[in-house]
């Protein structure tokens, strides 16, 4: 078995319509509701929002790590994350993600793109989603090509 560095634990009841989620230590304690756009009452978070926050935070940490390895200062990074719920055939759904990454302190476009590519290679969320969902990356306003 591989060495586990950290395990997050949470308990959820009620699902995405009238749910409640709480981490075991209580650091996160949220009501979960179906968004109004999907016919729900809204007024609380939903799984897509939680995924967007988690992915963006994880990706920023990967960017910081890669920046440190390359002796780059990129501490002013910001990431706007979108997680889309997309209907597919037979009543099924899939997710799509767009990460819009702003690196104001890295002026060289190729250097910024390479930093993001490397972060995408090591980010745990990116590795979990690779080949499963479409992830679009935008770096300083420019879509990143594979």
What pLDDT was estimated at residue 20? 97
What pLDDT was estimated at residue 140? 96
Q: How far is 88 from 114, CA to CA, in rounded Å?
A: 33
Pair (83, 122) in one structural domain: yes
Pair (97, 116) in one structural domain: yes
What pLDDT was estimated at residue 39? 94
Residue 146 in this model has a pLDDT that exceeds 80 = no
* DSSP structural state of residue 73: -
Pair (92, 118) in one structural domain: yes
What pLDDT was estimated at residue 95? 97
Read off the CATH number of the domain in which 121 is found: 3.30.300.20
Q: How far does the chain reach from its first CA to its final CA, in angstroms?
A: 33
Pair (73, 101) in one structural domain: yes
Residue 38 in this model has a pLDDT that exceeds 80 = yes
Read off the CATH number of the domain in which 13 is found: 2.20.25.10
Q: How far is 44 from 41, CA to CA, in rounded Å?
A: 9
What rounded mean pLDDT belongs to the chain? Answer: 95
Pair (4, 37) in one structural domain: yes
User: Which range marks the domain in which residue 64 is found?
Assistant: 47-143
What pLDDT was estimated at residue 145? 87
Pair (37, 23) in one structural domain: yes
Pair (59, 10) in one structural domain: no
pTM for this prediction? 0.94
What pLDDT was estimated at residue 73? 74
- Taking only the tens place, the pLDDT of each residue in 100-124 is 999 999 999 999 999 999 999 999 9
Q: Residue 123, Cβ neighbours under 10 Å: how many?
A: 24
Give the chain's domain count: 2
Distinct helix (H) and strand (E) counts, the chain: 3, 7
Pair (105, 139) in one structural domain: yes
- Taking only the tens place, the pLDDT of each residue in 54-100 is 999 999 999 999 999 999 877 789 999 999 999 999 999 999 999 99
Residue 33 in this model has a pLDDT that exceeds 80 = yes
């Amino acid at each position: 078995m591989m060495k586990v560095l950290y395990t997050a634990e949470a308990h959820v009841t009620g699902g995405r319509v009238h749910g409640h989620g709480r981490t075991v230590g209580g650091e996160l304690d949220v009501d979960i509701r179906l968004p109004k756009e999907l016919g729900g009452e809204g007024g609380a978070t939903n799984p897509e929002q939680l995924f967007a926050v988690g992915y963006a935070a994880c990706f920023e940490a990967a960017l910081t790590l890669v920046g440190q390895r390359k002796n780059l200062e990129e501490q002013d990074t910001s990431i706007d994350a979108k997680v889309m719920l997309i209907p597919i055939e037979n009543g099924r759904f899939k997710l799509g993600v767009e990460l819009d990454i702003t690196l104001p302190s890295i002026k060289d476009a190729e250097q910024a793109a390479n930093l993001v590519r490397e972060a995408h290679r090591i980010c745990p969320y990116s590795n979990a989603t690779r080949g499963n969902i479409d992830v679009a990356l935008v770096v300083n306003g420019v879509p990143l090509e594979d």
